[in-house]
Amino acid sequence: MLKKYPSVLLIYTGGTIGMIENPETGALENFNFDQLLRHVPELKRFNYRISSYQFDPPIDSSDMEPSFWAKLVKIINYNYDNFDGFVILHGTDTMAYTASALSFMLENLSKPVILTGSQLPIGTLRTDGKENLITSIEIAAAKDNHGNAMVPEVCIFFENHLMRGNRTTKINAENFNAFRSYNYPPLARVGIHIKYEPHLIRPTDKLKPLIPHYLFDTNVVILTLFPGIQERVVESLLKVEGLKAVVLKTFGSGNAPQKPWFLNLLKDATDRGIIIVNITQCSSGAVEMERYETGIHLLESGVISGYDSTPECAITKLMFLLGHGLTNKEIRIKMNSCIVGELTKQRR
């Protein structure tokens, strides 16, 4: 019988991992994927079938758009039966947005989709890219004793930590340890061994077919509160034509100014059908609107809780739900529910 080698599809979108320094300007520019692979001869030592697909041209992830997320989903869907797992090389700047978006777009995912990148280009001597790439490939191919994928989720692997993608945030523009998942523990830690945490990994039913989704509605905005925020600024933002949803980044456990003009503007917006989701500006912890009077006032104004969602997850989830033509009520219910492990509802 023919031996079946583990198989991984590498998708290169761009980002520092595949960049090279322009000798004249000193700026980092994208270079060709084959050149990138030449810098990782270790890949040949894997007993895996590794195929690749590259974005042409590769993009800096600051140029990431929902249309590129749709392209990624198309590539994964098209190749789904032919590979054990997928590794997406991506710029770090918006990696957490892409990971969150893909987690909603790939319904019934039963194979690993691992996003990774690096802080230093793969061609540089001290690069973190090699380690991130090699370990991501190993994780994408890993199976348990029953032959099922160890981590059938969209994840970010960076600097020895495998994190659930829609729980992850970029927190450092300098250190190799650039990502954190503050509100959910890592799914695996990497040292001498890769230590998976099966009880933290979402169970999946591999008999259910993958259902790819592609649509987004970008009529949304993130509004960060600060002491001194002006009425006319909030008013003009909430009255932007076509606006459908707002992620409101509040203080602490979901608190906001109690000024009547502020609450009236929120109430007016929710009455007009705009969905306002409350998440905290704190990196860790959750919104509890029932805890303080200020939170209660937000609830009375029609604002809903985003619990412990990251901003990246809250905004992509809203765009995803709005894109699928759900009613206002359905979106409010889904924003308050955990669909793919993206939030924790506290037990009372």
Residues near ligand ASP, by CB under 6 A? 14-16, 60-62, 91-93, 117, 119
CB of 170 to ligand ASP, least distance (A): 8
CB of 14 to ligand ASP, least distance (A): 6
Q: Where are the beta strands (DSSP E) in 187-326?
A: 188-190, 194-196, 211-212, 220-224, 245-250, 275-280, 304-305
- Rounded CA separation 140/160 (Å): 14
Listed in sequence order, the residues at least 6 apart from 162 whose beta carbon sits closer than 8 Å to its beta carbon are 114, 139, 151, 155, 156, 186, 187, 188, 189, 190, 194, 196
Annotated catalytic sites, by residue?
Answer: 16
- Which amino acid is located at 12 in the chain? Y
CB of 92 to ligand ASP, least distance (A): 3
| Cβ nearer to ligand ASP, comparing 92 with 166 | 92
| Cβ nearer to ligand ASP, comparing 177 with 336 | 177
CB of 79 to ligand ASP, least distance (A): 23
CB of 48 to ligand ASP, least distance (A): 25
CB of 122 to ligand ASP, least distance (A): 11
Whether omega for the bond prior to residue 41 falls within 30 degrees of 0, making it cis, is no
The two tokens of residue 283 are 């990196």
| Cβ nearer to ligand ASP, comparing 59 with 201 | 59
| Cβ nearer to ligand ASP, comparing 10 with 265 | 10
Listed in sequence order, the residues at least 6 apart from 197 whose beta carbon sits closer than 8 Å to its beta carbon are 185, 186, 187, 188
Give, rounded to a whole angstrom, the gap between the first and last alpha carbons of the chain: 56
| Cβ nearer to ligand ASP, comparing 169 with 294 | 169
CB 144 within 8 A of CB 189: no
Residue nearest ligand ASP (C-beta atom): 91
- Rounded CA separation 87/54 (Å): 12
| Cβ nearer to ligand ASP, comparing 112 with 117 | 117
Q: How far, rounded to the nearest angstrom, does the alpha carbon of residue 266 sit from its chain's CA centroid?
A: 28
Distances (CA, A) of 195 to 82, 84, 117, 161, 241: 27, 20, 21, 10, 50
The C-alpha torsion from 332 through 334 and 338 to 340, rounded to 10°, is -140
DSSP labels, 278-291:
EEESSSSS---TTS
